[in-house]
Structures are given as C-alpha cells and as structure tokens.
Amino acid sequence: MILLRLLTMPYVRKHKLRTVLTIAGIALGVVIFVGMRTANDSVMYGFQQTVDRLAGKTHLQVSAGETGFPEEVLEKVQAVAEVDVAVPVIEAIVQTGIAGQGNLLLLGVDMTGDRSLREYDFEAGEEAVIDDPLVFLAQPDSIMITRDFATQNKLSTGDKLKLETIAGPKQFTIRGIMKPGGMASAFGGNLAVMDIYAAQFIFGRGRSFDRIDLTIKPDYTLEQGRLALEKALGGGLQVDSPSSRGKQFESIASIFSVGASLNSLFALLIGLFIIYNTFSIAVTQRRSEIGVLRSLGATRGQIRTLFLMESAALGLVGSLTGIFFGLLLARGMAQYLSSFFGELYGVTQRVEEISADPRVLGLAMFVGVFMSMLAAWVPARAASEVDPVKALHKGAYESFSDHESRMRLWAALTMCAVAAACWFGGGSRGVPLYAGYLSVIVAAVLLTPAAVRSLVAALRPFLRWVLPVEGALAADSLMQAPRRTSATVGAVMLSLSLVIGLGGVSTASYVSLIDWMNNVLNPDLFVGTSEQIAERSYRFPASFGDEIRKMDVVSEVQNVRTARVQFKGVPVMVVATDIAAVGRRVKPKVVAGERLEMNRLSAEGKGVILADNVALMTRTKLGDIVEIPSPGGIIRLPVVGVTIDYSDQKGAILMDRKVFIQYWQDDSVNLFRVYLKKGVGPEEGKKAVLQRFGGERKLFVMTNQQLRDYALKVTDQFFGLTYMQIFVAVLVAILGIVNSLTVSITDRRRELGVLQAVGGLRRQVRQAVWMEALSIGLVSVILGLALGAVMLFYYLGIIREEVAGIRLDYTYPVKIALILIPTMMAVALSAALGPAESAVRSSLVEALEYE
C-alpha cells in the first residue's frame, strides 16, 4: 500500500488522460460484453417470463411445434388417466394499431375450464365476466384486457377495441379487466384474453389448437404423466414443460446469440490489448523510479504486486464504468432486438425490463479485473526484473531483446503449426476448428512487433519522400519503441480483423441470398397476412387462393404453408407447397440429387427436399430417411434432394402440401405466391388484389422487388453487428493511438524540444506527430486486413459447421476494406490532433530540462 501511495498515485495524478484512456479501454470491452449479453438475455428473459406467467399451474404442454393440431387431440389428452385438467390454448400476437402500444399478446382459452389452470384476478364488480362464461362465450366479440393496458389507452368495460382479424378489422367489446400482476403482467401487460373459438376465427386457424396446457394428477409424477401422454398421442406431438418453450426460443435465436457472444468476447480481448499497452508504457516510463525503489530494498515481488494491484484497481473502476454504460446500452438494444427477432424469426417478444443477470455482471466484473491483471502481468513481471543499474537507460526497454524476439517468433511459428495441424489433422469442426482459430489469433499477436518493425522500415522511405524530416522522425520513433507501438497496432489489428471477418460473412451472405432470390423468389406478388413475412399468427383459408386465382390479372397462384417443427433437436421450418407447380417455375441451386427427379418424388409425396444448412447441421444425407413429427404421427420419408434454401435461418424442409394436409389436417395458408398475366405490371397487380380483397380481409401484398428489399433489410439488421464492430474498431483505434502518441510525445519531449531549439518549426513537430499516427493507422490497417482474411476463413467454417450450416463462398469484403482504409487513417489523424498540439505547445525550457 505504501508503494501504491508513493509510486502509483503521483503517476496517476500526473497522467490523468492516460489513466482515463486505460479505464476506457477496460470499460469498452465490458460495455460491449454487458450490453450485448444483457440485451440478448433480456429478450430471452422477457419471453420466458411471459411463458411462465401464462403457464399458471400448467405442468406440461402438448404441442406440435408451432403448427397446431386438430381439436380431437384434446379429447385424447383428457382421456389419459394421469391427466387432471387439460385445456386448449391459442396464442398469437396482434397489432393494436394504437400509437405507441405496439403488439398485444392474445390468448385464446376455453373459459369453461381454463380457470382450473390460470388465475384470472378480476377487478371488483367484474367477476361475473369470468364467473359467468356463458355471457363471455356466447358473444364472440368478448375480450378481456389488463388494467395496465386499459389505463394506458383509457379503456374500460364495455368499450370497443379494434383488432385485425383474418377477415379484416373488427371491433371487440371489453368484457373484463384483469388486475395487475401475475398473469396480467405477461408480455409487459399487453395481454388480452378471448374465447378460443373466437381466436380460431380471428387467426384463420380452422379447427385447430396451438397447444394444450395440462396438469397431472397428484398421484403421478410429471415423468409418468409425460410418458403416458406420449404413449397415448404417438410420436408426432411434443409433451414438454412450459419452460422448454424458452429453450426453443433460445435455440431459434442461437445464431444471433453466438454472434453477439463472439463480438463481446472480442471486445474484451481488444480491451486487454489497451491495458497491456498502457502498462507496458507505464513500466517503461517508471523504470527509473522502479530502479530507485529496487536500490532502496523493494523486492521483485513487491514491484510485481504493485503493478498488479494497480491494474486490478483500474480494472475494477473500468468494469464498474463498463457495467453502468453496458446496462444503458442494453436498455436501448433490447427493444430493437425484440422487434428484430419478430421480423427474422416470427417470434415477437415484448421487453419491458432489462434482465441484469447478476452472473453476467459478476462475470463482467471478474473478466474486467482479470483481463486487466492478465494484461498487466507481463509488464509487471518486466518491472520486477528491472536491473537498478540499467534502469536509467531511457528507451532501451522499449525495444525487444533479440532473445525475446526469437522466442516470440518461435512461439508464433508453433501456433501456426498448431493451426495447420488442427485444420488438416483434426477436421474442420468442433474443438479443432476453434483451437485453430485461437492459435491464429495468438500467432498474429506474437508476430505483431516484428511485423510492425518490418512494415515501418518499409514505409520509412515513403515517409521520408513525403516529408523528409518529419517522416524520418515518425518512422524512427516507431521503430525505436516497438513495444509501445505493437500493443496499439495489435488492438486495432484485432478489431479490424473482426470487422473484415464479419464483413466478409455479410458480403458472402448477401451474394448467396441474392443468388437464391434470383433462382427461387420469382413470383410477381406475395400475398401474406402481415408486413412481417416471418409472422405466422394469422393464416388464410385455402379457399382464398382460389379467389385470387379467379382474378383477371392473375395467371397462377401457389399456396405456401410454413411452420416451425423440431427436427433432430433443431427448430427448422417446414415449407409445404405444391412442389410440381413451384418446380416448374423455380430452379434452386442443387447440392445433392437431381432437380427434376427430386421435384417428381417430393410432388408425389415420396420424399422431402432439405435445405443444405439443415442437412449440414443435422448430418443428414441424400437418401436418408428423416423423421418429422406431426400431429398425425411421425412422417418417415427419404431425403430426395438437398438444395440451397434461405427460407429460414435455421433451415427448411420442403414437402408437398398434400403431405402436410394429410399429417397436420390443416389446409390453411401463410403465403400465396402469385404470378401475374403477361403485360400486367407488379404495381398494377398489387393494386388489383388490394382493391378486390383489401376491405374484407387482413392481407398484405408485396411485389417481388418489395420482398427482396424486405429480405435485404432484415439481413442488414442481422449484420448490424458488423457496423457496431466498426464503431468499436474506431474507438479502439482512437484510444490506442491517443495513448501511444501521448507516451511517444512524453518520451520525446527533449528530442522535440531540441528539434525546435535548433530551428525546427512548430508545423514540423505537429506533422511529425501526425505522420507517426498515420503510420500506426496504416500499419494497423494492413495487418488488420491481412488477419481479417484469415479470420473470414475461420468464420465461414464456424458458420458452416457449428452455427447455421450455411455454406458461404469465400468473398473478401473489398468494399468494407476500402471504407476502412480512409476511415482508420482519418481516425488516426484525428486522434493525433490533441497530442500534436500538446507537443508543440509545451514549454521549450521544460522540454530541454526533461530527464
């Protein structure tokens, strides 16, 4: 503590800016880590909380993925001896159309039995609504809302509420207001309850239920109940606890979560470099003080502990700052993520509160402090090993010794060998893939000082050519202090490599997506139930397709039904359509099988076509017999083809519509693919469809171009991470370069003072600092773009083999690279403005007296 007070506090007081930058480095990593994790967790937590609040006393739920199942299943469930109470449920999201209110979670229940499972706590005087379900049930416009929703919208019992139904907008009568809390707080209080049969009508569900909630008799265990139900229902229906719905949602959104985790971990890694940089500099600058202390009897352990304690303290402050701003970031991101998940996965969630998981915050705190101490470990060890005699030799320590350089080179080569061994020996998935990825990063970090020295040496003639004196000064400064420079360059390099990696993934995704859209999405119009194409709450009756078909402007209509089911533990999308008709119009890219044959077989109901990513993720090959759960039992059909398909991020199983109708007993439709007659323009066709049906049905018509734009917009949102990472890279660059230059200028105060004393102009000093910053920026960009090329290779592998099964071509993101170069140069230059001014404005006398 004495050393901390004697050595650290004066240093901190003297270098306030650098201390702040160091804390900012830690905080930056923690902000991203906490912000992204908490936002993601909050959406998941919001979903789980809604599930829990709606579940009431429910022990188990019977479902068929999200497809629903015929009403008759209810009687089968109720007949199971172990079942106590079983009630049907329809759950869907509706747009309120009320400004600022967004979505309303609508629960369709059977009031005659539902109260056995759920607590409907009504406001005084309105108990008759629930106690006399006859009135409620007899009038299909009956709806109950929560007190929160009623208050926000100035609604009361007897008032009308307009909701979208499949048959167009309809007025509902509020016949009950639920007290706040418990079930009424589900979905942030934006909850409405109505009769299940009215809900069937509203959402076009025919005679099907979404799920059955049930309790098991006290004499039986849940497992006994589950087994009895599975036996009674066959394998096509899932019997799970309510909490498993949360897990399914997590599984659906896993690709995004993996990206968020990767991003946040990388941010922490970059923070580590900033801290390393700062402490390396601190050790360098305080070598003389350390030498004095060592001469006075301070032990090596004390010196090491001093630096580690210093880093722990900074880590603590940085972590706390990061947690605070991370939670603020999460608050802003959570709502965005929530609506984004709705667009991407068709699973809308309302996030009312931030779920600050103490474990995440604790982990962030631990990681922040640990990273800080880890980053300071090498400088601390170096500080403890300072030879008191050599301590006053300024600058000697800023370069690497030959031994250290050799060790670094050998270690880097070993890491490269490990990466190669992982790739060629261990295969391209699982642990070897990640081990190879980490080995490449470590190798790059180890090679950074050597690469910086070589690149700066190569740049020196160019710098001299641009500005002879200033250029030479800048290059020499960088070459003389590789330790100072390489940490900054390393941090920026890593950050940029992530941008290139993610940018490459997004570029390749766009290329593949556009290619797929050109091959498959060729109808003139798409008629759906919502502007969110992934939304599946509402469904059309099949007969509506016939009505569209009769229109003069229409040439052909193809019915499409999509629904998510569990296949080999993956929540994939079943796409049921008239394959013969679709096959005549589209030519998807075939990965396995023959196009005409796969169309023929699947159209005859003799097989299914798998999206390539499903095949990859579930290790399913052409000819394999797949088992798809359905309410009518397990469908066992061979895989007759594998094609590239991006209908859903988790992958799609394409089957003929008649197979779906046979097993699901459901002929409703999500989407109509409409081909117009020759000479009819898409806008003209859209207008005709809307004029004909707009007033009587809830429908949304997109032209081909609009659907493509929509798909690209959602993809843009998904890759929003890339843009966030660019922002992080910019921040890292600013922090690192300002830090490096500040130290560089401090170290060279005497040198710069002498330069001015012998006639050097302030302009020259300023430009020398600028050149140094631009050099750091350029070297960082060169190394970052190069490492990014390798990172992209690994990211594509991780996406293909571990995350999504999507086979993306390697396409270097040239455009992003071209944007990064001037951006980073501008950032470097702007980061140098402050330090440069500080250099030219310092007192010449003080500068000459320095040291």
Q: How far is the CB of 83 from other proteins (least distance, A)?
A: 9
Query: For other proteins, which is the closer residue by CB, 106 or 563?
Result: 106
Q: How far is the CB of 96 from other proteins (least distance, A)?
A: 23
Query: For other proteins, which is the closer residue by CB, 127 or 716?
Result: 127
CA torsion 520-526-528-532 (nearest 10°) is: 70
Q: How far is the CB of 185 from other proteins (least distance, A)?
A: 24
Query: Which of positions 327-356 make contact with other proteins (CB under 8 A)?
Result: none
Is the Cβ–Cβ distance between 47 and 248 less than 8 Å? no
Burial of 141 (0-12, 13-18, 19+ CB in 10 A): middle
**Residue from 66, 110, 398, 524 in contact with other proteins (CB under 8 A):** 110
Query: For other proteins, which is the closer residue by CB, 111 or 416?
Result: 111
- Name the region of 593 (left: φ>0; alpha: ψ -120 to 50; beta: rest): left
Query: For other proteins, which is the closer residue by CB, 132 or 404?
Result: 132
Q: Any idea what DSSP says for residue 799?
A: I
Query: For other proteins, which is the closer residue by CB, 78 or 399?
Result: 78
Q: How far is the CB of 118 from other proteins (least distance, A)?
A: 12
Name the one range near other proteins by CB under 8 A: 109-117, 238-246, 289-297, 585-593.
Answer: 109-117
Cα(816)–Cα(822) distance, integer angstroms: 11
Size of the site for other proteins (CB under 8 A): 29
Q: Which of 123, 166, 126, 118 is nearest to 142 (CA)?
A: 126
Is the Cβ–Cβ distance between 628 and 637 less than 8 Å? yes
Q: How far is the CB of 108 from other proteins (least distance, A)?
A: 12
Query: For other proteins, which is the closer residue by CB, 218 or 569?
Result: 218
Q: How far is the CB of 86 from other proteins (least distance, A)?
A: 7
Residue located via tokens 């076009």: 204
Q: How far is the CB of 192 from other proteins (least distance, A)?
A: 18
Query: For other proteins, which is the closer residue by CB, 214 or 386?
Result: 214
Query: For other proteins, which is the closer residue by CB, 86 or 92?
Result: 86
Q: How far is the CB of 135 from other proteins (least distance, A)?
A: 5
Query: Which of positions 653-712 make contact with other proteins (CB under 8 A)?
Result: none
Q: How far is the CB of 122 from other proteins (least distance, A)?
A: 13
Query: Which of positions 117-156 make contact with other proteins (CB under 8 A)?
Result: 125, 127-128, 131-135, 137-140
Query: For other proteins, which is the closer residue by CB, 61 or 190?
Result: 61
Cα(68)–Cα(302) distance, integer angstroms: 68
Cα(187)–Cα(423) distance, integer angstroms: 46
Query: Which of positions 377-406 make contact with other proteins (CB under 8 A)?
Result: none
Residues 6+ apart with CB under 8 A from 71: 88, 207, 208, 209
Is the Cβ–Cβ distance between 416 and 443 less than 8 Å? yes
Q: How far is the CB of 79 from other proteins (least distance, A)?
A: 11
Q: How far is the CB of 89 from other proteins (least distance, A)?
A: 11
Query: For other proteins, which is the closer residue by CB, 197 or 510?
Result: 197
Q: How far is the CB of 68 from other proteins (least distance, A)?
A: 17
The dihedrals phi and psi of 18, each to the nearest 5 degrees, come to -65, -40
Q: Any idea what DSSP says for residue 64?
A: B
116 sits near other proteins (criterion: CB under 8 A): yes
Query: For other proteins, which is the closer residue by CB, 80 or 262?
Result: 80
Query: Which of positions 596-615 make contact with other proteins (CB under 8 A)?
Result: none
Query: Which of positions 737-776 make contact with other proteins (CB under 8 A)?
Result: none
Q: How far is the CB of 154 from other proteins (least distance, A)?
A: 25
Q: Which two tokens stand for residue 69?
A: 């199942």
Residues 6+ apart with CB under 8 A from 700: 527, 528, 529, 530, 531
Cα(494)–Cα(486) distance, integer angstroms: 12
Query: Which of positions 62-101 make contact with other proteins (CB under 8 A)?
Result: 74-75, 78, 84-88
Name the one range near other proteins by CB under 8 A: 19-27, 105-113, 452-460, 610-618.
Answer: 105-113
Site string for other proteins, 184-223 (x = CB under 8 A): -------------xx--x----------------------
Query: For other proteins, which is the closer residue by CB, 17 or 135?
Result: 135
Query: For other proteins, which is the closer residue by CB, 88 or 528?
Result: 88
Residues 6+ apart with CB under 8 A from 6: none
β-strand pairing of 525-528 with 671-676 = antiparallel
Q: Which two tokens stand for residue 468?
A: 């002879």
Query: For other proteins, which is the closer residue by CB, 151 or 171?
Result: 171
Residues 6+ apart with CB under 8 A from 704: 521, 522, 523, 524, 525, 526, 682
Q: Any idea what DSSP says for residue 677?
A: P
Cα(652)–Cα(582) distance, integer angstroms: 15
Cα(363)–Cα(170) distance, integer angstroms: 50
Q: How far is the CB of 145 from other proteins (least distance, A)?
A: 19
Q: Which of 652, 643, 641 is nearest to 597 (CA)?
A: 641
Q: How far is the CB of 113 from other proteins (least distance, A)?
A: 3
Name the one range near other proteins by CB under 8 A: 99-107, 112-120, 625-633, 786-794.
Answer: 112-120
Query: For other proteins, which is the closer residue by CB, 114 or 645?
Result: 114
Cα(699)–Cα(369) distance, integer angstroms: 54
Query: For other proteins, which is the closer residue by CB, 137 or 313?
Result: 137
**Residue from 66, 82, 114, 612 in contact with other proteins (CB under 8 A):** 114
Q: How far is the CB of 71 from other proteins (least distance, A)?
A: 9
Site string for other proteins, 30-69 (x = CB under 8 A): ----------------------------------------
DSSP secondary structure string, 614-654? HHHHTT--TTPEEEE--TT--EEEEEEEEE---SSTT-EEE
Put the strands of the sheet holding 83-95 in their side by side order.
160-165, 168-178, 142-146, 191-195, 103-109, 83-95, 211-216, 60-63, 238-240
**Residue from 79, 97, 112, 594 in contact with other proteins (CB under 8 A):** 112
552 sits near other proteins (criterion: CB under 8 A): no
DSSP secondary structure string, 497-541? HHHHHHHHHHHHHHHHHHHHHHHH---SEEEESSSSTT--S--B-
- The footprint of other proteins (CB under 8 A) covers 74-75, 78, 84-88, 110, 112-116, 125, 127-128, 131-135, 137-140, 197-198, 201
